[in-house]
Amino acid sequence: MIPAAFDYVRAESADHAIALLAEHGDEAKLLAGGHSLLPLMKLRLASPTVLVDVGRLDDLRFIRDAGDHIAIGALTRHRDLEISELLSQTAPLLHHAAGHVGDPQVRHRGTIGGSLAHADPASDLPAVVLALGGTLVVEGPNGQREIPIGEFYTGFLESALEPDELLTEIRIPKLDTLGWSFQKFNRRAQDWAIVGVAAVRADGHSGVGLVNMGSTPLYAAGVVDALHSGATAAEAAERANEGTEAQSDNNATVEYREHLARVLVRRALEESGLS
């Protein structure tokens, strides 16, 4: 399978990438690791006429302690997250989940920014960043703005990113973590999750994200509401499907997905230390 023809431009800087996006508008797509976009292009489900390669913008590849949060450059690869000592100390849920994205070859190329911006409801990291309450920093022709992850996903493969904006940084609040869990249910090790759950319990913060339970990555607001009311893990898990719109496919029916969501949320909360 070969993608449709396109013009390839290598961005020399974030500003250059934004200028190229502004010039080419909807016709252009950003290429980072390429592990979400290239498969779509090979299947001709995406046919951008211009590819702006941001893969060499090494100044967007970092993980650093920024006081009240951890700042992660958008081009940081899954492998870098997986082996980061700083992340294992400060955001163990993200550290762990990054090691379960795809397979080692995918993790060597794929980036956190690409994964979040692609807005695939079946991806692991959006649910994790939803659970952690992260903030996305994006840059466009009019400067920088911050988007809370809860406001980022607007539809299937759609986000609040404007066509001429570049996601540059992900901010993960430093939580006083009491417990966390990442549950990924699939049939083969490397597959997308049929259903996945990311949960974190911290001093003053509880968060639960759902993978593959609707047209966007989802925050399990009902579950978190129950937790704030002092529910047990089993009671809170009963609210796992509030606001979900699971789809049927070859792997699972809607009913099965909803069952999985309840079971996996309960397991995630129990593993996070809630009885």
Partner 1 sequence: MKITMTVNGVERTDEVEPRTLLAHHLREALGLTGTNIGCDTSSCGACTIHVDGQSVKSCTMLAVQADGSEVLTIEGLADGDTLHPMQRCFQQNHGLQCGYCTPGMVMAAVSLLEENPNPTEREVRLGLEGNLCRCTGYHNIVQSVLACAAESSGAAS
Residue 137 Cβ, how far from partner 1 at the closest point, in Å? 25
The sheet with strand 50-53 has its strands ordered as 7-10, 50-53, 28-31
CB of 147 to partner 1, least distance (A): 28
Which of 80, 164 has the CB closer to partner 1?
Answer: 80
User: Which one, 59 or 255, has the nearer CB to partner 1?
Assistant: 59
Q: Which is nearer to partner 1, 191 or 271 (CB)?
A: 191
Query: Smallest distance from the beta carbon of 157 to partner 1, in angstroms?
Result: 18
Q: Which is nearer to partner 1, 31 or 131 (CB)?
A: 31
Residue 151 phi, psi (nearest 5): -110, 5
For residue 57, the minimal CB distance to partner 1 (Å) is 13
What is the closest distance, in whole angstroms, from the C-beta atom of residue 145 to partner 1 in the complex? 29
Residue keyed to tokens 């794929």: 110
Residue whose pair of structure tokens reads 């080419």 in the numeric block = 24
Length of the chain: 275
Distance of closest approach, residue 25 Cβ to partner 1, in angstroms: 19
Task: Name the residues that contact partner 1, by CB under 8 A.
Answer: 1-8, 10, 31, 34-35, 38-39, 42, 51, 53, 55, 79, 102-106, 108-109, 189-190
Q: What is the 3-state secondary structure (H, E, C) of 119-156?
A: CCCCCHHHHHHHHHCCEEEEEECCEEEEEEHHHCEEEC
- Residue 259 and residue 238: Cα distance in Å, rounded? 10
Closer by beta carbon to partner 1, 108 or else 267:
108
Q: Is the Cβ of residue 61 or residue 109 nearer to partner 1 in the bound state? A: 109
Q: For partner 1, which is the closer residue by CB, 99 or 243?
A: 99
**Is the CB of residue 184 less than 8 Å from the CB of residue 102?**
no
> Residue 149 CB, nearest distance to partner 1 (Å)?
26
Which among 260, 195, 266, 196 is positioned nearest to 227, based on CA atoms? Answer: 266
